[in-house]
Amino acid sequence: MGPLVVAKLTTCALNLFIALWSGLPPILMRRPLSFICSSIYFNSFVAGIFLAMSMIHLLPDSESSFRKYVTENKKSLHFPIAFMITLGSYTFLLFLEKVIMNSDRFSSNAHDYEENDSDERETLIGECEKINFYETKDELGKIERSKRPFYILASLVSQAFVVGTSLGIQNSIVGITKLGLVIALHIWSDAYVLGTTLNSYQKMSTPLSVFMISFFSLACPIGIYLGWIFFATSHLFSGIILAVSSGFYLYISTSEIVSTVMSHGQHRLLKFFFYLMGLSLMSSVKFMEERYLSLIHISEPTRQAEISYAVFCLKKK
């Protein structure tokens, strides 16, 4: 069993465990777990990681995959298709969560937060307040309250499946590791949001809630498996999946996290510092990755030249 296989199987198991560990306790214990709720500083740090992952890692990798596809098939491409797909996936999530679900994240709590600006209130503005995002009033009456958990599940499952597929098509240990850690943060947050939301619906039975959490938990491992087995060798599909994932992380970092933690409360400079830390961390990872690849490219021609010279000497004799 090669190292790539071990890395992908480990990532599958890790994400499955994280999803179940984060999503089931709020349902089975029938109350939120306060220690799972992350602070605004951690959210700011994660926002920087997600944004850098989108713009510095996934989007350039998507562009590279499309260029390889064009080169192999001897075609010409004069349109930034990777950017177009990224923008499309961002717009899709915006439409799904803001229009179809007709909700405004953190809106109700933002006003309460401004009235009570204590540090204790501030630490709860992070992931815990996503609960109330799904509890906002449906002014237009487009979605009945009883159906809202299923729309939430569909949104989170689609995100988990796509980002899982983007990990499955990775062909290097570095790519699997960096994307696996980012996806783990993503799955941890979404599983807790889903579990706490289901817990808030009194008419939602426990077996059904557990089934929905389990279904969500399997979305990412299934995406990893399908990307690994069927699509890892297709540059066209790899480019599409990476661009879609880039749009998803762009939406999560900007429209969900940054727009909230930077807009309300005190310590905005400190929150911005943690955001820069996440951004700098993923930028440093990209720099080290490119440096490592450049060293490989430099050593390969030297090795080929040595082999060619040896063959030339043998022929001369």
Summarised one tens digit per residue, pLDDT across range 39-83 is: 678 888 888 999 999 999 999 999 999 988 888 887 777 788 999
What parts of the chain have a pLDDT lower than 70? Answer: 1, 30-39, 102-146, 202, 232, 264-265, 291-317
Sign of CA dihedral 246, 251, 256, 262: positive
For 31, list phi and psi in degrees, rounded to 5: -160, 150
Best CA proximity match to 59, nearest among 151, 138, 166: 166
Cα–Cα dist 146/232, whole Å: 39
Q: pLDDT tens-digit profile of 112-132?
A: 334 444 444 444 444 444 444
CA atoms within a 13 Å half-sphere pointing along the CA-CB vector of 234: 15
Task: Tell me, rounded to whole angstroms, the distance of Cα 95 from its chain centroid.
Answer: 18
Residue 66 near residue 82 (C-beta atoms within 8 A): yes
Record the pTM: 0.73
